[in-house]
Amino acid sequence: MCGIIGLMAKREDLRQSLGELVQPMFDCMAERGPDSAGLAVFGTALEPPHLRFSLFSESAGYDWSGMARSLDRDLGCSAELVTRDNHAEVVAAVEGDSLRQWIKQRADGVRVLAVGHSIELFKDVGRPDEVARRYGFSALRGTHCVGHTRMATESQVSPAHAHPFTAGEDFCLVHNGSLSNPYSLRRLLEEENLEFETDNDSEAACRFLQWRMRKGDTIERALGAALEKIDGFYTFLIGTAKQMVLIRDPFACKPAVVAETDQYVAISSEFRSLAHLPGVAEANIFEPLPEQIYVWRVAA
Amino acid sequence: MKPVRLDLSMTSVRELNDYLHHRLAAAGVRVVEILNPNGLHNIAVGLDYPVEVNLRGNAGYFIGGMNKQARINVYGNVGWSVAENIMSGSVYIKGNASECTAASGHGGLVVIEGDSSSRCGISMKGCDIVVGGSVGHMSGFMAQAGNLLVCGDAGAHLGDSLYEAVIYVRGKIHSLGADACEEPMTAADHATVGQLLKRAEIELSSKDFKRVASARTLYHWNAEAHQEY
Nearest by CB to residue A275, choosing from B39, B41, B98, is B39
Q: What's the mean per-residue pLDDT of chain A?
A: 96
| Tens digits of residue pLDDT in B105-121 | 999 999 999 999 999 99
Query: How many angstroms away from the CA of A255 is the closest CA of chain B?
Result: 9
Cα of A252 to nearest chain B Cα, Å = 8
Q: Do A271 and B39 touch (CB under 8 A)?
A: yes
Which of A287, A289, A291 to mutate against chain B (most B CBs within 10 Å)? Answer: A287
Q: Is the whole model's pTM more than 0.80, yes or no? A: yes
Q: Domains of chain A, with CATH numbers?
A: 2-41+143-297 (3.60.20.10), 46-117 (3.30.70)
**For residue range A130-144, what is the model confidence (pLDDT) as tens digits?**
999 999 999 999 999
Q: Does B124 touch chain A (CB under 8 A)?
A: no
Going by C-alpha positions, the residue among A155, A118, A157, A162 that lies closest to residue A26 is A162
- Secondary structure of residue B37 in the 3-state scheme: coil
Catalytic residue list of A? 2
Asked if B98's CB is within 8 angstroms of A275's CB, the reply is no
Q: Write the single-letter amino acid at A191.
A: E
Amino acid present at A136: G
Give residue A215's pLDDT.
96
Q: Which of A251-255, B1-5, B200-204 is predicted with the least confidence, judged by mean pLDDT?
A: B1-5
Beta carbons of A272 and B39 less than 8 Å apart: yes
The pLDDT, as a whole number, for residue B229 is 63
Listed by start position, the domains of chain B span 4-225
Average pLDDT, integer, range B156-174? 98
Cβ-based contacts of A257 with chain B (< 8 Å): 79, 98
Check B58 against A257: CB less than 8 A apart: no
Q: Do B77 and A285 touch (CB under 8 A)?
A: yes
Q: With 90 as the cut, is the pLDDT of residue A1 above it?
A: no
Q: Do residues A123 and A159 lie in contact, with contact meaning Cβ atoms separated by under 8 Å? A: yes
C-alpha A242/C-alpha A42 separation (Å) is 8
Report the interhelical angle of A182-190 vs A201-214 (nearest 10°): 40
Over residues A246-265, the mean pLDDT reads: 97
Bridge partners (DSSP) of residue B149 are B130, B168
Give whole-number Cα distances, B41 to A103, A128, B21, B37, in Å: 46, 20, 17, 9
DSSP conformational letter for B14: H
Taking only the tens place, the pLDDT of each residue in B84-143 is 999 999 999 999 999 999 999 999 999 999 999 999 999 999 999 999 999 999 999 999
CA A179, A184, A187, A188 torsion-angle sign: negative
- Number of other CB atoms surrounding residue A12 within 10 Å: 8
Strand ordering across the sheet containing B31-35: B4-7, B31-35, B52-56, B71-74, B90-93, B109-112, B125-131, B145-150, B166-169, B210-214, B180-183
Distances (CA, A) of B224 to A172, B220, B228: 49, 12, 9
Residue B221's pLDDT is 80
Longest dimension (CA), chain B: 66
**Assigned CATH topology for domain B4-225:** Pectate Lyase C-like (2.160.20)
B193 in contact with chain A, both atoms CB, cutoff 8 A: no
Q: In terms of residues, how long is chain A?
A: 300
Dump pLDDT digits (tens) for A27-36: 999 999 999 9
Helix (H, G, I), strand (E, B) or coil at A114: strand
pLDDT of B20 strictly over 70? yes
pLDDT, tens digit (0-9, with 9 covering 90-100), for A47-75? 999 999 999 999 988 999 999 999 999 99
Q: For residue A31, what is the enclosing H or E element?
A: none
Task: Note the pLDDT of residue B202.
Answer: 96
* Confidence check on the interface: ipTM exceeds 0.90, yes or no: yes
